[in-house]
Amino acid sequence: MNRFQALAFKSFQIAFKITTVFLPQISDKWAINLFLKPIRSPYTKKGKKFISDSKELSIEVNGRMHIGYSLGEGPTIVCVHGWAGKTTQFAHIAYQLAENGYRFVGYDSWAHGANEGSSASMFDFKDLLIEVLNTEKNVRCVIGHSLGAASVSLAAFEGIQIPRFVSLGAPVVGEDILDVFIKRINGTARHKKALREECRRTFKREFDEVTMQNTFSSLKNVPVLGVHGTEDIDADVRHLDILRKIHPEMLTYKAQGLGHRRILKDKKVLSLILEFIKSD
């Protein structure tokens, strides 16, 4: 974040706090809209090259077309990006998979990447993944980053078969997820309450019901590799310990000095992922 962006963000936080004091109900709606509205970032040079090197895919989910990409040939590895992310963030992983005889497949979720839309939820991620897994053949492994990992767990909880799973920087505890968001927008406990009520009203589910702390038990009999950066400020590394308590047989790796997104291109992490996918 540069100086101008930092100043703009600070101004937003001040404006949000003022709105909370004088127009609390307006601030509740503002918080809900922010929570469901992913911020899009520009494509990097690496991302643009990946798009040019890959084959474009498309799939319809809930009446909406989604753009995807594939690279390589062989057993399929399905990758699910995180909130405010996009498939091109898996470029390093995709090239590594293709070089080792696998076929990378990834789709942008609704309101992300190359797709239309301005708001989304984890249920959009989950529905997309289920459609992809019902369409793709010979899927060897599913890799999920951040909210993408949580959506893989939710899909498994709802009955979809996951052959093996790599979880990268997964947010696990509902209260922690809300706390990180509330701190970012300079919100209060009333906004957490508003978000929980919105989940109940719009999606007919309790917020904690769909978090990995509740859904991950459905993957107890599935080979799992969990990777988390020790400097992750979006989801604390202790979330990986919670997953391990739920699934004691899973493999875990704490990437020293890495944050939430750096693990997607770290050589050691890529090597571990490839070793795990190749293992029996």
Give the C-alpha separation, 7 to 241, whole Å.
36
Residues 88-111: what's their mean pLDDT?
98
What pLDDT was estimated at residue 262? 96
Residue closest to 225 by CA, chosen among 64, 124, 132, 93: 93
Mean pLDDT across the chain: 97
Residues 119-146: what's their mean pLDDT?
98
Percent of the chain at pLDDT exceeding 90: 97
pLDDT tens-digit readout, 44-71: 999 999 999 999 999 999 999 999 999 9
* CB within 8 Å of 192: residues ≥ 6 apart: 178, 179, 182
Instruction: State how beta strands 55-61 and 103-107 pair.
Output: unpaired
- The helix (H) or strand (E) run that includes residue 223 is none
Q: Between residues 192 and 2, which one has the greater pLDDT?
A: 192
pLDDT tens-digit readout, 110-119: 999 999 999 9
What pLDDT was estimated at residue 2? 73
pTM across the whole model? 0.97
Residues 75-100: what's their mean pLDDT?
98
Radius of gyration of the chain (CA): 19
Structure tokens at 57: 């895919």
What pLDDT was estimated at residue 101? 98
Domains of the chain, each with CATH number or no CATH:
36-173+211-278 (3.40.50.1820)
Give the C-alpha separation, 158 to 98, whole Å.
30
What pLDDT was estimated at residue 3? 83
pLDDT tens-digit readout, 14-29: 999 999 999 999 999 9
Q: Assess contact for 177 and 208: CB atoms under 8 A.
A: no
Q: Check pLDDT > 90 for residue 280.
A: no
